[in-house]
Amino acid sequence: MSDGPWKSLSMRPHWKQVAKQAETGAFSADELSGTMEAALQKEGKELPLEAVRRAVGADGQGVLFVSDLSGQLETLRADHPGAKFAETFFTCLLDAEAKGLSGREMMNQALADSLDEYARDQSRSIEEHYYRSIRTPKVPVNTRLASARRQCDFASLAAGLVEPSGSSASPPGPVKRSGLDEGPPL
């Protein structure tokens, strides 16, 4: 008996949990969305947000050399080679800078955009994995992941991550069900 196709996914454990919930169909779109937001938050905590906050002047101290912001962001990007989410985040930061945004507004917009883009990328990877596997899922994984992604509030998730550490409470994680009578709402 197989442990499920999500076991062989080459993803981090929190994204495997998203894949498992998307495939089983026993979780509502709200629950799947909550799990996806928790996975995104775990990814976002690994970003060098404090260094970016200092570079863009979102720490309340201002920026000395605004003209060199692109260079500073590229240097920070080079410090995180191979990290796909960090790469997406720095690309979105440079896009936000090109749009004329600065400071905290720039970080919020860039992080919200990168969270959305990364969730879309991870959803595609999960979907492709299921299509390559021998076992077809009982429910359409792509539509479940898309509806969960649409329900994610990337702006508030980004705002929570951009805040200096310790200044805001983290949102609750996914609900754990342990009883037999605790199934999905009918």
User: Could you give the number of structural domains in the chain?
Assistant: 1
* Per-residue pLDDT band at 183 (split at 50, 70, 90): low
Q: Which of 36-50, 71-85, 125-139, 160-174 has the lowest average pLDDT?
A: 160-174
Inside any domain, residue 171: no
Range of 78's domain? Answer: 13-162
Inside any domain, residue 183: no
Inside any domain, residue 1: no
Mean pLDDT score, 58-73 = 66
Inside any domain, residue 180: no
pLDDT digits (tens, 9 = 90+) for 89-147: 999 999 998 898 888 899 999 999 999 999 999 999 888 887 777 666 667 888 899 99
CA distance 115 to 157: 9
Inside any domain, residue 169: no
Inside any domain, residue 2: no
User: Helices (DSSP H) in 65-102: which residue ranges?
Assistant: 69-78, 84-98
Q: 62 vs 58, 69, 130, 159, 174, CA distance in Å? A: 7, 12, 48, 19, 37
Angle at 104 between CA 102 and CA 109, to 5 degrees: 80
> Residue 23 has what pLDDT?
83
Residue whose entry in the numeric block shows the structure tokens 């919200």: 112
Inside any domain, residue 7: no
Mean pLDDT score, 69-87 = 82
Inside any domain, residue 175: no
